[in-house]
Amino acid sequence: MSKKAKLSHYDEAGGARMVDVTAKPVTPRTARAHAFVKIRKSVLARLPDNPKGNPLEVARLAGVMAAKRTSELIPLCHPLPLSHADVKVTVEKDGVRIEATASTAARTGVEMEALTAAAVAALTVYDMTKALDKSIEITHVYLLEKTGGKSGGFRRSTR
């Protein structure tokens, strides 16, 4: 963080506060976030036979619902009128990759909505498969990219 950067969720006395975005212009904003659920191959093979239903579809829907309720979960997060939220869930050899997107036209960004969607989708995969394996790991929850706003765009560099 540069010397000029200042955390805006604190008032002059150091107390937590919701940032006033009234004066900011309404602009289009998007965000994409990622999560990975590390699952044993034997559990992955049993996903289609899950007695609770299709864990991937339930996780996708849970992620979309979570994006819409982010401000109820994160105390200082602004409620946003989402114009779009989506979650893609892909089975890979070591687990399930989740990518969540959120879009709006608002005074503040949708990074938290995308991150919340990815995290809740990952938690839902865990919930739907925990009877088969308690050692499932949720890893690599992070922002992939964002657009819009005063700070402009961000894209995570690939290493």
20-76, pLDDT tens digit by residue?
A: 888 889 999 999 999 999 999 999 999 888 888 899 999 999 999 999 999 999 999
Does 49 qualify as catalytic in the annotation? no
Residue with tokens 């990074």: 111
SS3 category, 32: strand
pLDDT digits (tens, 9 = 90+) for 103-157: 999 999 999 999 999 999 999 999 999 999 999 999 999 999 999 988 889 999 8
70 Cβ neighbours under 8 A, 6+ residues apart: 77, 80, 112, 113, 116
Q: Percent of the chain scored above 70 by pLDDT?
A: 93
Q: Of these residues, 11, 20, 94, 127, which one is catalytic? A: 127
- Between strands 154-155 and 82-92, the pairing is unpaired
Residue with tokens 């995290």: 119
**What's the pTM value of the predicted model, to 2 decimals?**
0.90
Alpha carbons 101 and 119: distance in angstroms, whole number: 12
Alpha carbons 125 and 62: distance in angstroms, whole number: 10
Structural domains in the chain, sorted by start: 29-150 (3.30.70.640)
Residue with tokens 């619902």: 65
User: Residue 91's pLDDT is what?
Assistant: 96
Alpha carbons 57 and 47: distance in angstroms, whole number: 11
Dihedral in degrees, nearest 10, Cα atoms 50, 61, 99, 102: 180
pLDDT for residue 1 is more than 50: no
Other C-beta atoms lying within 10 Å of the C-beta of residue 72:
11
